[in-house]
Amino acid sequence: MPKANIVAISGSPSPQSRTRVVLEDVVQAVAERVDALVDVIDIGEIADLLGPTKLRPEAPAEIERLLQAVERSDLILAASPVYKGSYSGLFKHFIDMIDHRALEGRPVGLIATGGGDRHALVIEHQLRPLFGFFNARTLPTGVYVAESQHQGGHVVDPQVRARLDRLAVEAVAALSRSPVSAVA
Ligand SMILES: Cc1cc2nc3c(=O)[nH]c(=O)nc-3n(C[C@H](O)[C@H](O)[C@H](O)COP(=O)(O)O)c2cc1C
């Protein structure tokens, strides 16, 4: 089987990003289960290029390359910090430039981090509808990590850890088009 192309998008503009660390945890959980090439897009690292780009036709070559990587991927892992009850503005700005036809049927894992528990439904109320717009195939298990559930670069809450592993199993099943029960 050829290697799967996974694109992981970390939507935080912050250089010391908890979202990125959690995302890498999910990437590792998936990569342990499937042979994959992983491209991590860190919105904080491209913010200086992304911010001034109003629309895709004027996007610098590096932004265009990353957009094409998302559009050609086999699996997207999309992670954002909660900002004012939603995903970050720069994350949405990047997603806004993706071709509206390009993600049809694409498996997408949804991940968010927040300060507390109150905005855990950001996954269901904000991220899932965003990828629903593209007719993408969002994976059933979303992973929300509050600050208290994450310490020293790792998810410490066992229930969140179990959800993270469940998401990885669903991602692998989607890549191989197998039922989750055959992978778990
Ligand atoms: C501008 C801003 C807005 C935020 N809004 C919320 C919010 O509405 N709800 C929440 O739970 N946390 C909120 N937070 C906290 C972040 O979501 C949380 O610290 C997150 O884990 C940061 O991720 P990062 O380290 O990847 O940037 C906000 C933080 C910032 C900087």
pLDDT value, residue 52: 97
**Ligand 1 center to 89 CA (angstroms):** 12
| DSSP letter, residue 125 | I
pLDDT value, residue 157: 92
Hey, whose CA ends up nearest to atom 30 of ligand 1?
Answer: 83
Q: Please state, rounded to an integer, the average pLDDT across all residues of the chain.
A: 95
**Ligand 1 center to 101 CA (angstroms):** 31
pLDDT value, residue 150: 85
Beta strands 107-114 and 143-146: pairing type? parallel
| Whole-number Cα distances in Å, 124 to 10, 46, 142, 163 | 18, 27, 8, 15
Q: How confident is the model at residue 1 (pLDDT cuts 50, 70, 90)?
A: low
Query: Measuring CA to CA, which residue among 105, 10, 96 is closest to residue 54?
Result: 96
Task: Tell me the per-residue pLDDT of 22-66, one tens digit each, with 9 for 90 and over.
Answer: 999 999 999 999 999 999 999 999 999 999 999 999 999 999 999
| DSSP letter, residue 86 | B
**Ligand 1 center to 114 CA (angstroms):** 5
- Tell which atom from ligand 1 comes closest to the C-alpha of 85: 8
Hey, whose CA ends up nearest to atom 15 of ligand 1?
Answer: 115
Task: Tell me the per-residue pLDDT of 100-154, one tens digit each, with 9 for 90 and over.
Answer: 999 999 999 999 999 999 999 999 999 999 999 999 999 999 999 999 988 887 8
pLDDT for residue 183 is more than 80 = no
**Ligand 1 center to 18 CA (angstroms):** 10
Are 40 and 76 in contact by the 8 Å Cβ rule? The answer is: no
Task: Tell me the per-residue pLDDT of 160-181, one tens digit each, with 9 for 90 and over.
Answer: 999 999 999 999 999 987 667 6
**Ligand 1 center to 11 CA (angstroms):** 11
**Cα dihedral angle (136, 141, 147, 151), rounded to 10 degrees?**
-110
Residue 51 C-beta-side C-alpha neighbours within 13 Å:
6
pLDDT value, residue 152: 81
Hey, whose CA ends up nearest to atom 5 of ligand 1?
Answer: 83
pLDDT value, residue 138: 98
Domains and CATH numbers, the chain: 4-183 (3.40.50.360)
CA-derived radius of gyration, the chain: 15
Task: Tell me the per-residue pLDDT of 8-33, one tens digit each, with 9 for 90 and over.
Answer: 999 999 999 999 999 999 999 999 99
CA angle 98, 100, 105 (to 5 degrees): 100
Ligand 1 surroundings by CB, under 6 angstroms = 12, 14, 17-19, 81-85, 113-116, 118-119, 147
Q: Which of 10, 45, 80, 83 to mutate to test the pocket of ligand 1 (most atoms within 8 A of CB)?
A: 83
